[in-house]
Amino acid sequence: MADTLAIGNYSDEDQKALQEKSAVFIGSTDDLDGLEPGQREAIRAVAFKGHKPFGPAQMDLLPNLGLIANYGVGYDAIDIDAASARGVKVTNTPDVLNDDVADLAVAMLIMQGREMRQASEWARSGQWKDKGEYRLNRKVSGGVAGIVGLGRIGRDIADRLAAFKMEIHYFARSEKETPGWTYHADPVSLAKAVDYLVVALVGGPDTEKFVSKEVIEALGPRGIIVNISRGTTIDEAAMLDALEQGKIAGAALDVFLNEPDIDARFYDLDNVVIQPHQGSGTVETRAAMGQLQRDNVTAFLAGKDLLTPVN
Ligand code: 8YV
């Protein structure tokens, strides 16, 4: 019987590679109890993709589970304490996606600042031809950017923005060695100092609503929020209020609460760039993520060291 269970929607290539490992497939953790008890008992490794909770209740349905190999750098859907308590190892897919996520963050920031969505619509709808030039917007290069969370992805974003001659400020748990960037121990002080607030925190309960109403309002009426982390890291209701009331200039968001059924208030806002959580969504990067996930499964089943352990 199969010792590997694949949870989630995989690309054809990933599916084929997992099939070669004789994996059993289910769509989400909700489908676990649809498996026969014998099938569940045989599972030693799970290749996990998705954002539905993988907690104690799900783990207890797999009594011989030893590994959850997450497809993604963020593993906030997995209860790490519950996994550790059961002797279950967890791995993720760090680094291979940094470039794509950082590229998207910068692209969204420029898209929002230069009103590229509205300007494109101006041309497509014939208004350029009929009414003339699109209105002037705002210069992005040389602005002041604040990165919330200077981990691997945050740093790659900051490096890119520095190449746009931006002054870089950041918040992190501790001051880092950086090339002349300004550290803020307090996110409100960071928000006050910058025009662009780019959120690159890890998800999970520790960072819930870290970008609070106070932080959002400290950003001020020229402020633009960019989020490529998780919807949970921002007080989303407070951000929506601020966007509707013009307390901040705009937002560019790849992540939301309750994806993909996001708050309908977003759809009515002209000052928001919306992306469908596609930060790592390129053929190249998703292939690398799938490979790293499977390499962790292979290492575990062979009793070797895991490549990218979390716990
Ligand atoms: C998802 C992500 O893993 O890596 C992460 O943390 O958010 C994404 O790359 C991807 O959407 C697959 O679920």
pLDDT band at 285 (very low <50, low <70, confident <90, very high): very high
| Residue 302 pLDDT grade (very low, low, confident, very high; cuts 50, 70, 90) | very high
Residue 191: the pLDDT is: 98
| pLDDT band per the 50, 70, 90 thresholds, residue 127 | very high
Confidence tier at 92 by pLDDT (50, 70, 90): very high
Q: Are 244 and 223 in contact (CB under 8 A)?
A: no
Please state the rounded mean pLDDT for residues 108-129: 98
* Structure tokens, 237: 């209701």
The rounded percent of the chain whose pLDDT value lies above 90 is: 100
Give the pLDDT of residue 130: 98
Measured CA to CA, the distance from residue 147 to residue 231 in angstroms comes to 16
What's the sign of the alpha-carbon dihedral 71, 74, 79, 84? positive
Averaged pLDDT for residues 279-285: 98
Cβ-based burial of 63 (10 A; exposed 0-12, middle 13-18, buried ≥19) = exposed
Ligand 1 center to 229 CA (angstroms): 10
How many whole angstroms separate alpha carbon 79 and alpha carbon 64?
17
- The pTM score is 0.97
User: Which of 9, 68, 71, 282 to mutate to test ligand 1, by most ligand atoms within 8 A of the CB atom?
Assistant: 71
For residue 122, the model assigns a pLDDT of 98
Q: What is the mean pLDDT of the chain?
A: 98
Query: How far is ligand 1, taken at its centre, from the CA of residue 138, in Å?
Result: 31
The whole-angstrom separation of Cα 279 and Cα 191 is 23
* pLDDT value at residue 194: 98
Position 268 confidence tier, pLDDT thresholds 50, 70, 90: very high
Angle 164-281-48 from CA coordinates, rounded to 5°: 130
Residue 140: other Cβ atoms inside 10 A: 21
pLDDT in tens, 60-75: 999 999 999 999 999 9
302 contact partners, CB below 8 Å, separation of at least 6? none
Residue 128: predicted pLDDT: 98
10 Å CB burial of residue 268 (0-12, 13-18, 19+) is exposed
Residue 75's pLDDT is what? 98
- Per-residue pLDDT of 1-31, as tens digits, reads 999 999 999 999 999 999 999 999 999 999 9
**Is residue 94 lining ligand 1, measured as CB closer than 6 Å?**
no
**Cα 7 from Cα 205, distance rounded (Å):** 23
Domains of the chain: residue spans and CATH: 4-94+283-301 (3.40.50.720), 98-274 (3.40.50.720)
pLDDT at 249: 98
Q: 28, 73, 91: which to mutate for ligand 1, most atoms within 8 A of CB?
A: 73
Distance 193 CA to ligand 1 centre (A): 30
Nearest atom, ligand 1, residue 101 CA: 9
For residue 112, name the pLDDT band (cuts at 50, 70, 90): very high
Of all protein residues, whose CA lies closest to atom 3 belonging to ligand 1?
72
Provide the pLDDT confidence category of residue 229 given band limits of 50, 70 and 90: very high
Contact 230 CB / ligand 1 (< 6 Å):
no
Using 50, 70 and 90 to split pLDDT, how confident is the model at 213? very high
Say what the pLDDT of residue 311 is.
98
- pLDDT band per the 50, 70, 90 thresholds, residue 187: very high
